[in-house]
Amino acid sequence: FGLSNKFDTEFPSVLTGKVAPEEFKTSISRVNACLRKNLPVNVKWLLCGCLCCCCTLGCSLWPVVCLNKRTRRSIHKLLEWENNRLYHKLGLHWKLSKRKCETSNMMEYVILIEFLPKYPIFRPD
């Protein structure tokens, strides 16, 4: 369903001077731990659903769709927690976004790191 089984922990050069590499690695490790916890269950339900798909007219795939949605929601919550804890203070915003794959027409989820605009605090209202 486009969700990776883990995200790359390599520190992007764009974030040099914005975030400590240790903080970046810790955040990505938390996301990967969430995926590691949820994806094996999703795979088991997917295999079971595919085996029973013809007999149930596709209804056996609903648990997989719901589990995938739950996994995405837990990653969204984790990224929001990380944003509120650290990244908004640094002028960054992390979010899970759906993108088209470079090599095919399939869609995948990626973590986008956006730079928040700085507010002019010395400009009068």
pLDDT tens digits along 27-66: 999 999 988 887 777 667 667 777 777 776 767 767 777 7
pLDDT of residue 5: 77
The tokens for 110 are 């990626």
Contact present, 109 and 3 (Cβ < 8 Å): yes
Q: What is the mean pLDDT of residues 93-108?
A: 85
Q: Where are the beta strands (DSSP E) in 1-125?
A: 92-100, 107-115
pLDDT tens digits along 102-124: 777 888 888 899 988 877 666 66
Contact present, 94 and 83 (Cβ < 8 Å): yes
The domain spans of the chain are 20-115
User: How is residue 85 annotated by DSSP?
Assistant: I
pLDDT of residue 70: 87
Q: What angle do CA 17, 14, 30 make, to 5 degrees?
A: 85
Task: Indicate the pTM of the whole model.
Answer: 0.79
